[in-house]
């Protein structure tokens, strides 16, 4: 029963760590899922472009469909379908365009809307003449909801001309030279004055007139592929940025950990008072102050724990279980250090208690890690693993008999005596070595003295110390003369 509150606190700590790890894993799983989906999106988009190129090559260019003057119209239809669908698919959306390909009143269908595409430069009327001819042949096309699609550059000119009042058109537009002219404005104005269709019936293609010509469509499609890959990379970068740890999630982890640890402390504090025989209504003001103090302190500790675990698991290569244990050890050693400063324990007890705190934290971390691996359910696996591991550790620690404990204590005592003895002998050896080195250095100093007489005596003494035979040592004038002159 005495170990139950300790086990509850240990489970609560590992539960918080497991929950933070679960939050991290959710972000990683979402990122990997986004990447897998984007792989499929890019493949589908590029397939649409490749399919469009294949159709243009085989069904239009090779077949010379439309001839020299009409081929670009069929190229525009196929390219519009391929590019528009690809731009949808790169975003993970469904295809919207369908190529009708029956030489009838409808060229394309987009989400149920019938579209007639006109890429005509003849007559300088921005495809409007071709629209009039089509409308005369199919007068119900617009009434049935149909749309006319023209090159993007043509549509920009028409929209600008349409919005230019007559009094400004004559002043602003040139009557000759490059760019839109006043004559262009007159043609466009006459088209809409007819009243058959309004400008809302027209829409721009995704392509310009020059981009769908026989000699240009390949570069147009290649540029679109490059654009699709750029869009794909931007989407991946955005998904990665969204998967990074952030302040909001860190705050969530901090508050949740604080609430859990504070709540656990409150329940345990109330339970401790109840075990003293008090009922809730009998709690005194001091009892509630004690409970509130312990709860508040645990709330702060929990916040620190949650923020620390979140930081360690996201910015260092540390698992959640180990991160929780690191924080637990830090708190435990800090508590022991405070007791040491207050004189409640000595240095040896501080070291032993700190080692015990680290050992219990390591057991908790390993047990939680194994439990989470065996039971891959967030929080539950870590709690079960920690519970089993802690109970087994306590059982093993308490299974030593009194005799075994005495043997261990005697062994430790003998080790301390041996340590003291070896330390004394070591100190004696150091002192002896210091004396020997001092004598040796003095001898060297005399042997290499600039004074010849001192050097002679010193070198002879050095030779004797090095066990040179006495008859070979030059320790007199006679031996010196004999050595150099004989």
What was the pLDDT predicted at 193?
85
Q: What residues contact residue 204 under an 8 Å CB cut-off, 6+ apart?
A: 149, 150, 151, 152, 154, 155, 156
- In Å, the largest CA–CA distance within the chain is 142
What was the pLDDT predicted at 384?
56
Q: What residues contact residue 320 under an 8 Å CB cut-off, 6+ apart?
A: 17, 18, 20, 21, 24, 309, 313, 382
**CA–CA distance, 290 with 273 (Å, rounded to integer):** 10
Contact between 306 and 257 (Cβ < 8 Å): yes
What was the pLDDT predicted at 370?
59
Structure tokens at 160: 């600008």
Structure tokens at 444: 């060297």
What are the C-alpha distances in Å from 247 to residues 242, 261, 316? 12, 21, 17
- Using the 8-state DSSP alphabet, how is residue 58 labeled? I
What was the pLDDT predicted at 1?
44
Tens-binned pLDDT, residue by residue, of the chain (486 aa): 456 566 566 666 666 777 677 777 788 888 899 999 999 999 999 999 999 999 999 999 999 998 988 899 999 999 999 999 999 999 999 999 999 988 889 999 999 999 999 999 876 678 998 999 999 999 999 999 999 999 999 999 999 888 888 877 776 666 555 666 788 888 888 888 877 788 999 999 999 999 999 999 999 999 999 999 999 999 999 998 888 887 787 788 778 777 777 777 777 777 777 777 777 777 777 877 877 887 777 777 777 777 777 777 777 766 766 776 777 777 677 777 878 888 888 777 777 777 777 766 666 656 555 555 655 655 555 545 545 555 554 555 555 545 555 666 677 778 778 888 888 888 888 888 888 788 778 877 877 878 777 777 777 777 777 777 877 777 777 777 777 776
3-state secondary structure at position 204: strand
Contact between 122 and 129 (Cβ < 8 Å): yes
What are the C-alpha distances in Å from 360 to residues 7, 332, 430? 11, 10, 40
403: buried, middle or exposed (CB in 10 Å: 19+, 13-18, 0-12)? exposed
What was the pLDDT predicted at 131?
92
* Torsion angle (degrees, nearest 10) of CA 391, 396, 401, 407: -140
What was the pLDDT predicted at 473?
75
What was the pLDDT predicted at 378?
56
What was the pLDDT predicted at 401?
47
């Amino acid at each position: 029963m005495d170990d139950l509150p300790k086990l509850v606190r240990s489970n609560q700590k590992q539960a918080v760590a497991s929950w933070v790890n679960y939050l991290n894993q959710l972000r990683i799983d979402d990122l990997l899922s986004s990447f897998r989906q984007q792989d499929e999106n890019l493949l589908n988009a590029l397939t649409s472009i490749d399919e469009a190129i294949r159709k243009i090559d085989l069904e239009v260019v090779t077949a010379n469909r439309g001839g020299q003057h009409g081929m670009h119209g069929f190229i525009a239809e196929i390219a519009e379908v391929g590019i528009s669908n690809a731009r949808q698919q790169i975003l993970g959306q469904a295809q919207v365009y369908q190529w009708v390909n029956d030489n009838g009143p409808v060229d394309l269908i987009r989400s149920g809307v019938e579209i007639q595409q006109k890429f005509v430069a003849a007559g300088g009327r921005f495809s409007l003449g071709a629209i009039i001819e089509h409308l005369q042949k199919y007068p119900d096309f617009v009434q049935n909801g149909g749309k006319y699609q023209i090159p993007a550059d043509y549509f920009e000119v028409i929209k600008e001309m349409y919005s230019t009042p007559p009094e400004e058109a004559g002043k602003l537009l040139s009557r000759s030279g490059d760019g839109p002219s006043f004559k262009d404005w007159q043609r466009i104005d006459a088209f809409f004055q007819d009243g058959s269709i309004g400008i809302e019936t027209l829409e721009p293609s995704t392509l310009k007139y020059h981009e769908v010509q026989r000699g240009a469509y390949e570069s147009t499609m290649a540029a679109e592929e490059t654009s699709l890959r750029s869009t794909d990379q931007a989407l991946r970068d955005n998904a990665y940025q969204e998967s990074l740890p952030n302040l909001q999630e860190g705050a969530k982890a901090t508050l949740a950990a604080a609430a859990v640890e504070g709540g656990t402390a409150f329940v345990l504090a109330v339970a401790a008072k109840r075990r003293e025989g008090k009922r809730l209504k009998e709690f005194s003001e001091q009892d509630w102050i004690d409970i509130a103090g312990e709860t508040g302190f645990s709330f702060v500790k929990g916040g620190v724990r949650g923020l620390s675990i979140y930081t360690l698991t996201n910015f260092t290569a540390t698992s959640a279980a180990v991160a929780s244990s690191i924080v637990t050890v830090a708190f435990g050693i800090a508590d022991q250090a405070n007791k040491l400063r207050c004189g409640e324990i000595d240095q040896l007890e501080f070291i032993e208690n700190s080692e015990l705190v680290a050992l219990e934290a390591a057991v908790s971390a390993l047990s939680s890690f194994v439990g989470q691996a065996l039971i891959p359910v967030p929080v539950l696996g870590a709690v079960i693993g920690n519970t089993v591991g802690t109970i087994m550790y306590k059982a093993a620690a308490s299974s030593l008999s009194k005799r075994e404990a005495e043997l261990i204590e005697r062994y430790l005592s003998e080790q301390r005596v041996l340590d003291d003895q070896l330390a004394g002998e070591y100190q004696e050896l150091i002192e002896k070595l210091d004396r020997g080195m001092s004598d040796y250095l003095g001898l060297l100093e005399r042997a290499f003295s600039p004074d010849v007489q001192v050097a002679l005596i010193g070198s002879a003494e050095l030779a004797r110390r090095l066990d040179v035979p006495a008859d070979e040592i030059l320790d007199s004038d006679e031996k010196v003369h004999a050595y150099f002159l004989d």
